[in-house]
Amino acid sequence: MSRCSVVGCCRAILKANCYHDRGHDAPCSYEGSYYMLVFGAAQLFLSFIPDFHDMAWLSVVAAVMSFSYAFIGLSLGIANTIANGTIKGSITGVPMRTPMQKIWRVSQAIGDIAFAYPYSLILLEIQDTLKSPPAENKTMKKASMISILVTTFFYLCCGCFGYAAFGSDAPGNLLTGFGFYEPYWLIDFANACIILHLLGGYQVYSQPIFQFADRFFAEKYPDSGFVNDFHTVKLPCLPACRVNLLRLCFRTLYVASTTVVAIVFPYFNEVLALLGALNFWPLAIYFPVEMYFIQRNVPKWSARWVVLQTFSVVCLLVSAFALVGSIEGLISQKLG
């Protein structure tokens, strides 16, 4: 997903400048695979940051960039709606040729929404970096509530004002789909913010996977030098660095594989929906609910147990619906 966004942003910057210089009807098109490879190379370098404790600066940069492009997108949507003097679109959404196409689009939209919230994958990793007092879980609970409220505000406002501004012609990504052409320099800045945000966001979600792999192989092969030994490497004009062969191989393979997948499926909204459908139920619903049952010793078939299990099953069905729709969208994009 990060690579699809980065490629879209890079092409959007080039197109914005092209449209500004040559007019909005100019044939401005750019290949995306090159930018995916550049982004992959940058992530390969960043992937050798040891852990969350050493990437606080990257998280701060990503957060600042996120707020920047969100404010810009929201402001442009509001300004465009005011300039139009009317609210475009309808309560039924984008018209489709057949009811089945409408169902698929709805399922993909649900997947896109689901992708926005399952941050539980990294919640415990972030909590582990906090200092006490106050207690880490209390700090994290407060931070989670504030984060959900703020992100929901931006999601709703950007979505609503974007649709109000463009109606059925609203692009999947307002800043890369050329809902806006001017001011071109502001569009360029917003897309640059997205690129910087995704440089950090990729690592925030990848570092827990790297750390899990490090722990898993260290426990499984405690006597392996390949897994546990660090080697000092001295490079010209650079400080000496410590290299672990397992990290070098695993993280390189991980970044390379995600780059290849992004090149094969460079479809932003469809990939977003697929990831949201896959992640939402197990990470944001099932595991938290099961952990709550164990922590609070909730008896089976009690009212609370039944309500939460029903909630979990409903979310599973919604995720399955979104998964089928996102797969259909990927296939349609690839074959169409």
Would you say 45 and 133 are in contact if contact means Cβ atoms under 8 Å apart? no
Total number of domains constituting the chain: 2
Cα dihedral 79, 84, 85, 87 sign: negative
Give the residue numbers spanning the domain of 186.
2-93+130-266
Count CB atoms within 10 A of the CB of residue 268: 20
Shared domain check, 76 and 6: yes
Shared domain check, 305 and 161: no
For residue 171, report the phi and psi dihedrals to the nearest 5 degrees: -75, 160
Shared domain check, 153 and 106: no
DSSP state of 85: T
Residue 200 pLDDT > 90, yes or no? no
Shared domain check, 151 and 58: yes
The residue out of 219, 245, 266 marking a domain boundary is: 266
What digits encode the pLDDT tens for the residues 293-329? 998 898 888 999 999 999 999 989 988 888 888 888 8
What digits encode the pLDDT tens for the residues 62-106? 778 888 888 888 888 888 888 888 888 777 777 777 888 888 888
Strands (E), the chain: 230-233, 241-244
Q: Give the confidence band of 8 by pLDDT, cuts at 50, 70, 90.
A: confident
What digits encode the pLDDT tens for the residues 181-192? 667 788 888 888
The residue out of 232, 266, 300 marking a domain boundary is: 266
Shared domain check, 280 and 206: no
The residue out of 225, 245, 266 marking a domain boundary is: 266
Cα separation, 69 vs 58, in Å, equals: 17
Shared domain check, 134 and 182: yes
Q: Which residues is 231 bridged to in the sheet?
A: 243
Enter the tokens of residue 115: 């992708």
Q: Which of 153, 116, 148 is nearest to 277 (CA)?
A: 116
pTM equals: 0.75
Backbone torsion region of residue 207, taken as left when φ is above 0, otherwise alpha when ψ lies between -120 and 50, otherwise beta: alpha
Residue 120 pLDDT > 70, yes or no? no
Shared domain check, 55 and 187: yes
Shared domain check, 162 and 89: yes
At a CB cut-off of 8 Å and minimum separation 6, what does 158 contact? 70, 73, 74, 77, 174
Mean pLDDT of 233-262: 82
Shared domain check, 211 and 175: yes
Cα dihedral 197, 198, 200, 201 sign: positive
Shared domain check, 136 and 51: yes
Shared domain check, 35 and 84: yes
Shared domain check, 172 and 318: no
